[in-house]
Amino acid sequence: LQGAATSLEEQDTAYWLKTPLLSNGLEMDIPQLDACISSLLEAALSGNEEQKPLDCTLRSDLSVLVDLALGSSKEPSNSLWINMQDYAISKDWDNASLNNESLLDTVSRFVLAALLKHTGLLGQACGEGRYQPSKSLSEVYRSVYKVRNRLLACKNMDFIQTRSSSRERRISDNQDSLDMDPQEHSFTRTIDEEAELEERADREREEG
């Protein structure tokens, strides 16, 4: 093979470089990518969905994902977000009905868009019913809500630290939040138990 030998960095990241996530390389050069990311984040945090975040022309599928990340009311992007929320509510996941958390929703939209892109499930998500997504798509939804729960747990820990009146109280509250946070544990248990029940049902159908 021609070219320089594999660098130490390439050797250390060989596993990830071989995965589907990075198998096709970067879609644009680094300076252009940095500029696009900056403008996209600026548009997301400004709350103005009509702002054009990218100067380059996007493929139709990427345009849908960008609209999803920015919280656009355009279709099918809006339906992608609503379908995930409806599915979470139908499964009675904790925090599924949480309101007035605009920044959390923004992060969740970006996570959902990224997962749909890298799993290749965008087309399927656009055509799936909101209450009966495929197993792969439901796993994507589950992953998004696990991220939401983790962020909420971190927010709660910061609140506890701010309110603590002494170092001992702060350490104690932090430990309680890490070890016994009821919100996080209840949510994680709900999602994991549901996944286990789904796998058990699949096995029973196959055996039957």
- Most confidently modeled range among 32-36, 78-82, 192-196, 197-201: 78-82
- At 99, phi and psi to the nearest 5? -120, 170
Q: Where are the beta strands (DSSP E) in 62-126?
A: none
Other CB atoms closer than 10 Å to residue 128's CB: what's the count?
18
pLDDT over threshold 60, residue 182: no
Higher pLDDT, 48 or 203: 203
Q: Of all residues in the chain, what percent carry a pLDDT higher than 90?
A: 20
Question: By the 8 A CB rule, do 54 and 66 touch?
Answer: yes
Determine the structural domain holding residue 118 and report its residue range: 58-207
Q: In this structure, are 117 and 29 located in the same domain?
A: no
DSSP 174-187: HHHHHHH-HHHHHH
Angle (CA) 86 88 93, round 5°: 145
pLDDT at position 149 over 80: yes
Which amino acid is located at 90 in the chain? S
Q: Let me know: does 92 contact 48? Beta carbons within 8 Å.
A: no
Residues 87 and 14 in one domain: no
- Same domain, residue pair 94 and 185: yes
Between 120 and 20, residue with greater pLDDT: 120
Residues 51, 67 within the same domain? no
Cis peptide before 20 (omega within 30 of 0): no
Residues 16 and 74 in one domain: no
Tell whether the model's pLDDT for residue 64 goes beyond 60: yes
pTM exceeds cut of 0.75: no
Residue 139 has pLDDT above 70, yes or no: yes
C-alpha triplet 25, 72, 125: angle, nearest 5°:
60
Tens-digit pLDDT profile for residues 2-25: 667 888 888 888 887 777 666 656
Domain count, the chain: 2
Question: Is residue 108 pLDDT above 90, yes or no?
Answer: yes
Q: Are residues 40 and 108 in the same domain?
A: no
Whole-number Å distance between alpha carbons of 165 and 143: 36
